[in-house]
Amino acid sequence: MEQLLRERIEALLAPAAVREGFELAAIETGGAVHSPVVRVFLDREGGIGIDAIVEANRWISTALDEADLVPGSYTLEVSSPGIDRPLTTLDHYRRFLGEAATIKARQAGGMSTFRGTIEEVRDDVILLHVQDETVHIPFRDIVKARLKGRVDFSQKGTEE
């Protein structure tokens, strides 16, 4: 049910995001039955600031309300994908080759979580370097994936 809702919201918002100069990075849904939450992650070249998020909140809220995809009241959260950016498309994996990621995927016998470096995308399979081996993860089996952001604290700010 949630997957279908995310797909409908994405189909509604993706063209509007492009028109407004954004990339629709990801959609997440959650919350309780009577208090659903819709999270919309937007990005663009050079990043996204608070003013852009406020403006995007307006057109996203209007679009969702007019389409009535989420019945009743809901909480809308609009933000940048952040340092631990969700990976939701094959293009995301291609764009972030060489970056560290955590991927949760369906495997025979249940779920597995892999932490490694995105090596390659072959057709619809993600090759993730995990310790000393390469794991092949079919894109269709991925339940959730995020970049593992790195923060460099070694650069000191200038003091005046």
Rounded alpha-carbon distances, angstroms, from residue 83 to 19, 99, 131, 160 = 25, 12, 22, 29
The mean predicted confidence, pLDDT, of the chain is 90
Rounded alpha-carbon distances, angstroms, from residue 37 to 5, 70, 92, 125 = 12, 9, 24, 31
Residues 6+ apart with CB under 8 A from 29: 2, 5, 6, 9, 36, 37, 38, 39
The CATH number given to 2-79 is 3.30.300.70
Give tens-digit pLDDT for 50-108.
Answer: 999 999 999 999 999 999 988 789 999 999 998 889 999 999 999 999 999 999 999 88
Per CATH, is 90-147 categorized as 2.30.30.520?
Answer: yes
* pTM, rounded to two decimals: 0.77
Residue predicted with more confidence, 23 or 3: 23
**Per-domain residue ranges for the chain?**
2-79, 90-147
Mean pLDDT of 23-43: 91
